[in-house]
Amino acid sequence: MPYFDNNATTPLWKVAEKAYLDASRNHWQNTSSPYRSAARARTLFDRDREWLAALLGCPADSVIFNSGATEGNNAIFNYLAAKHSGDARVVVSTIEHPSVLEPARAAFPGRVDYLPSLSSGVADLSELSKFLENPNVALVSLMAANNETGVLQPWRECLKVCRRKGVPFHTDASQWLGKMPLDGLGDCDYVTTCAHKFGGPKAVGFILIGREEVGFKSQLGGAHEKGHRAGTENLPGVRSMVAALKHVYENLEETLSDQRARRDAFEKTLCREIPGTRIIGGQSERLWNTVHVAMPKYANTRWVALLDKRGFTVSTGSACATGKEGPSHVLAAMGIESEEAGRILRVSGHWDSSSAAWNGLGAAMAEALEELNRSKSSAEGPMVISI
Amino acid sequence: MPYFDNNATTPLWKVAEKAYLDASRNHWQNTSSPYRSAARARTLFDRDREWLAALLGCPADSVIFNSGATEGNNAIFNYLAAKHSGDARVVVSTIEHPSVLEPARAAFPGRVDYLPSLSSGVADLSELSKFLENPNVALVSLMAANNETGVLQPWRECLKVCRRKGVPFHTDASQWLGKMPLDGLGDCDYVTTCAHKFGGPKAVGFILIGREEVGFKSQLGGAHEKGHRAGTENLPGVRSMVAALKHVYENLEETLSDQRARRDAFEKTLCREIPGTRIIGGQSERLWNTVHVAMPKYANTRWVALLDKRGFTVSTGSACATGKEGPSHVLAAMGIESEEAGRILRVSGHWDSSSAAWNGLGAAMAEALEELNRSKSSAEGPMVISI
């Protein structure tokens, strides 16, 4: 599969499609309705909730289904802002997804403290204890793995510090869930997730609320999800998401070793064949599928177009930032200048990416470089940055 | 089709399933990504937006895709509360769906004026002008058709009054869209909708923002939907919703005449065969599919169970209220006592409900009555209300 933008979104697994269709054809009833066919749908729904809770190591009541991580991230900050006084603050890292950063700033205006990023792409926890001396911290939020660089974040360490201080901890696990072992995730106070990042359907996800958060509300309205999240339950979506998760976790060990080896071989060849190439976050622990790479020259948009022509789909960065101006806030936080940022490609493999696909991509990049070198207009055209 | 709870949710049309699958298999890419396959997905997405705008008679920019009416209703009240000063008020009807009432009260605490309901189930606009004398009214919200009674509401008249006063008007069209002609809907300042109420998929819908609402935000985060609604676009869901809408509007005229005749015949027979039966809102203009009926005796939960046993699925009321205690707020607003409310059934037909299905339901109700009359425990058991 020559598609290498799986951090943006993924194709639906066949097993997930089958689960969607089965539920949509046979159990489409409103799970809140008072008759037997609806009760059967409700049973499947509850079974999925229990399976997820077991996978994550948390009580079933902690799992609230929703429309994905953006909804989840918004809901947490809005909920905490309403719960706490106007003095309350939140601590977030500078490399969070916009769906964390923007709700944090909107719900806690002027009351956000930032964990900076090291140049390695890892969030720097050295000031965390200082921030937590303030008794009004309502939440610390640190993503599990970064969507652009793939760099794994010290969320477990952050959780420990928060626990000692009695401050709730949230992790946006959108890029982690489905790709990495789950130990400890169910211990976080809040976890947000997104099915379409691991071969589940779009517009489905869940949030974990790890403590007794009786008053937590994502959307107000009908009394679904024990009052935590109004809106008719999307059983086909949930069943499909669970089928996708089952599939990826059944094969995780194999994926981890095979894909990491293929990705590492790709990086090694790339750096050898195209001198001056720099792997962003290359010294850090990263997701097995992600290569964030600064090419030695030429705007990333030109690379993307030439690789696309050759059937290889890579990206200039986060799809969620397309349309926003200026370089990525993640790269800026890592101290990367906008000139280099404009040369960066994000390559994100699939669970099933073959060695041939990874090798093919490497060869296509070498060809693209030749074409760019040959191209008259390639020399010093205006830099187009669209990360 | 013996399923008569289509106001709770509907089965997915085959054409809508096909559209979902086609998009999910061939155009699952992130519509915000910078390569050709994503651009093709984006083109389909924009085409659907334009088709919807043409159907509703509004500019394409007014259509914001989201996860359904609950999200839409929440977003509007939250947006307006943030936009206006702490003096701003909203006017809503007492018979709105909880996903309007609850966000209105949470976002405008103590600053909600209510349009009462007449005993006919129609919202009473007589005090609207008085409410609008207050210069701080940020919104008037009146649903298009009630989900419990099916009674059509004077939303067009309400819109006219609001226009004269320069106050924005919102209608929750969840039960209207897909069932009724759309004239005038695109003129409203805000319209919320929900695909699974007309044979589209769950967790999909759209909101119309009819004026230049540059600052409108549903969810914060990625720059999707021109900044109005963050979250990866759900192209399969949107394509499926549009396919469902196309299907129902292609056949609307036939549906309106056939289904209304079948429903009316059912009501006539029911009232004749089971004396003491009362159609709630029977004197009002109603959706062609809805029968809200007070049975002369026995708790509605017992009726539902006995009809279910005979293969006919009807409901005690709104699925969104299952789990909430006490009688429906809609019935209370209509002045219906909780004793009678506990005998009320909601029957809501499908676009394809056959005469045989409607007749079968009538016969099953007569049989159920006999069984209830025969049953020893039927006489004076404790009333169970679970509307």
Which chain B residues are Cβ-neighbours of A308 within 8 angstroms? 35-36
Number of Cβ pairs < 8 A linking chain A and chain B:
239
Residue of A nearest to B29 (CA): A9
Among candidates B8, B73, B237 on the partner chain, residue whose Cβ is nearest the Cβ of A221: B73
CATH number 1.10.3210.50 given to A253-378: no
Q: What is the pLDDT along chain B (387 residues), one digit of tens a residue?
A: 599 999 999 999 999 999 999 999 999 999 989 999 999 999 999 999 999 999 999 999 999 999 999 999 999 999 999 999 889 999 999 999 999 999 999 999 999 999 999 999 999 999 999 999 999 999 999 999 999 999 999 999 999 999 999 999 999 999 999 999 999 999 999 999 999 999 999 999 999 997 667 788 888 888 888 889 999 999 999 999 999 999 999 999 999 999 999 999 999 999 999 999 999 999 999 999 999 999 999 999 999 999 999 999 999 977 655 555 567 899 999 999 989 999 999 999 999 999 999 999 999 999 999 999 998 554 555 444 443
pLDDT of residue A376: 57
Q: Please, are residues A191 and A173 in contact by the beta-carbon 8 Å criterion?
A: yes
Residue of A nearest to B226 (CA): A323
pLDDT of residue B322: 55
Among candidates B36, B230, B314 on the partner chain, residue whose Cβ is nearest the Cβ of A98: B230
| Domain limits, CATH 3.40.640.10, in chain A | 14-249
Summarize pLDDT for A31-52 with one digit per residue, the tens: 989 999 999 999 999 999 999 9
Cβ of B320 within 8 Å of Cβ of A222? The answer is yes
pLDDT of residue A10: 98
Longest dimension (CA), chain A: 70
pLDDT of residue B387: 38
Longest dimension (CA), chain B: 70
**What pTM, to 2 d.p., does this model score?**
0.94
Among candidates A8, A28, A196 on the partner chain, residue whose Cβ is nearest the Cβ of B9: A28
Hey, is the C-beta of B6 within 8 angstroms of any chain A C-beta? no
pLDDT of residue B386: 41
Cβ of A29 within 8 Å of Cβ of B36? The answer is no
Which chain B residues are Cβ-neighbours of A224 within 8 angstroms? 320
Residues 292-351, chain A, touching B (beta carbon < 8 A)? 301, 304-305, 308, 313-316, 318-324
pLDDT of residue A377: 54
Q: SS3 of A363, please?
A: helix
DSSP codes joined into one string, A246-277: HHHHHTHHHHHHHHHHHHHHHHHHHHHHSTT-
**What share of chain A has pLDDT > 70, as a percent?**
94
Residue of A nearest to B203 (CA): A234
Neighbour tally for A136: CB within 10 Å? 13
Hey, is the C-beta of B222 within 8 angstroms of any chain A C-beta? yes
Cβ of B30 within 8 Å of Cβ of A5? The answer is yes
**Distance of alpha carbon A348 from alpha carbon A174, whole angstroms:** 14
Among candidates A97, A237, A308 on the partner chain, residue whose Cβ is nearest the Cβ of B203: A237
Secondary structure of chain B as H, E, C letters: CCECECCCCCCCCHHHHHHHHHHHHHCCCCCCCCCHHHHHHHHHHHHHHHHHHHHHCCCHHHEEEECCHHHHHHHHHHHHHHHCCCCCEEEEECCCCHHHHHHHHHHCCCCEEEECECCCCCECCCCHHHHCCCCCEEEEECCCECCCCCEECCHHHHHHHHHHHCCCEEEECCCCCCCCCCCCHHHCCEEECCHHHCCCCCCCEEEEECCCCCCCCCCCCCCCHHHCCCCCCCHHHHHHHHHHHHHHHHCHHHHHHHHHHHHHHHHHHHHHHCCCCEECCCCCCECCCEEEEECCCCCHHHHHHHHHHCCCECECCCHHHCCCCCCCHHHHHCCCCHHHHCCEEEEECCCCCCHHHHHHHHHHHHHHHHHHHHCHHHCCCCCCCCC
**Distance of alpha carbon B342 from alpha carbon B297, whole angstroms:** 9
Given a cut of 70, whether residue A1 has pLDDT beyond it is no
**Distance of alpha carbon B168 from alpha carbon A229, whole angstroms:** 27
Summarize pLDDT for A330-366 with one digit per residue, the tens: 999 999 999 999 999 999 999 999 999 999 999 999 9
Cβ of A102 within 8 Å of Cβ of B29? The answer is no
Given a cut of 80, whether residue A305 has pLDDT beyond it is yes
pLDDT of residue B317: 78
Where residue A214 falls among pLDDT bands split at 50, 70, 90?
confident
pLDDT of residue B358: 97
Hey, is the C-beta of B22 within 8 angstroms of any chain A C-beta? no
Q: How far is A382 from chain B (nearest CA, A)?
A: 18
Mean pLDDT of A52-78: 95
Selected residue with higher pLDDT from B328 and A294: A294
Residues 367-386, chain B, touching A (beta carbon < 8 A)? 386
Structure tokens at A88: 């309350």
Query: Can B271 be counted among the known catalytic residues?
Result: no
Hey, is the C-beta of A11 within 8 angstroms of any chain B C-beta? yes
Neighbour tally for A59: CB within 10 Å? 14
Hey, is the C-beta of A364 within 8 angstroms of any chain B C-beta? no
Cβ of B203 within 8 Å of Cβ of A319? The answer is no
Hey, is the C-beta of B86 within 8 angstroms of any chain A C-beta? no
| Domain limits, CATH 3.90.1150.10, in chain A | 253-378
Hey, is the C-beta of A10 within 8 angstroms of any chain B C-beta? yes
**Distance of alpha carbon B387 from alpha carbon B162, whole angstroms:** 33
Which chain B residues are Cβ-neighbours of A233 within 8 angstroms? 202
Cβ of A5 within 8 Å of Cβ of B220? The answer is no
Q: How far is B223 from chain A (nearest CA, A)?
A: 6
Where residue A380 falls among pLDDT bands split at 50, 70, 90?
low
**Terminal-residue alpha carbon distance, chain B:** 24
Summarize pLDDT for A95-147 with one digit per residue, the tens: 999 999 999 999 999 999 999 999 999 999 999 999 999 999 999 999 999 99
Q: How far is A164 from chain B (nearest CA, A)?
A: 30
Among candidates B24, B25, B98 on the partner chain, residue whose Cβ is nearest the Cβ of A221: B98
Among candidates A237, A304, A323 on the partner chain, residue whose Cβ is nearest the Cβ of B223: A323
Cβ of B29 within 8 Å of Cβ of A320? The answer is no
Beta carbons within 8 Å of B366's beta carbon, 6+ residues apart: B273, B274
Q: How far is A319 from chain B (nearest CA, A)?
A: 5
**Distance of alpha carbon B23 from alpha carbon B9, whole angstroms:** 23
**Residue A160 carries which side chain, given as an amino acid letter?**
K
**Distance of alpha carbon A370 from alpha carbon A151, whole angstroms:** 30
pLDDT of residue B32: 86
Hey, is the C-beta of A73 within 8 angstroms of any chain B C-beta? yes
Hey, is the C-beta of B275 within 8 angstroms of any chain A C-beta? no
Hey, is the C-beta of A5 within 8 angstroms of any chain B C-beta? yes
Given a cut of 90, whether residue A27 has pLDDT beyond it is yes
Q: Which backbone phi and psi does A370 adopt, to 5 degrees?
A: -60, -45
Question: Domain B252-371 belongs to what architecture?
Answer: Alpha-Beta Complex (3.90)
Cβ of A222 within 8 Å of Cβ of B106? The answer is no
Token pair 């669209």: residue: A386
CATH number for the domain whose boundaries are B14-249 = 3.40.640.10
pLDDT of residue B348: 98
Residue of B nearest to A225 (CA): B323
Spot the catalytic one: A162, A194, A271, A320: A320
Q: Please, are residues A62 and A209 in contact by the beta-carbon 8 Å criterion?
A: yes
Burial code (b: 16+ CB inside 10 Å, e: under 16) for A269-302 equals bbeeebeebebbbbebebbbbbbbbbbebbbbbb
- For β-strands B278-279 and B205-209, DSSP reports them as unpaired
Q: SS3 of A83, please?
A: helix
Q: Is B345 exposed, middle or buried (0-12, 13-18, 19+ CB in 10 A)?
A: buried
Residue of A nearest to B308 (CA): A35
Token pair 């429903």: residue: B263
Q: How far is B241 from chain A (nearest CA, A)?
A: 14
Hey, is the C-beta of A134 within 8 angstroms of any chain B C-beta? no
**Distance of alpha carbon B256 from alpha carbon A331, whole angstroms:** 57
Which chain A residues are Cβ-neighbours of B44 within 8 angstroms? none
Which chain B residues are Cβ-neighbours of A68 within 8 angstroms? 231-232
Mean pLDDT of A307-314: 97
Which chain A residues are Cβ-neighbours of B328 within 8 angstroms? none
DSSP element (H, E) containing A192: strand A190-192
A interface test, pick of B77, B147, B220 with most A CB neighbours within 10 Å: B220
Hey, is the C-beta of A86 within 8 angstroms of any chain B C-beta? no
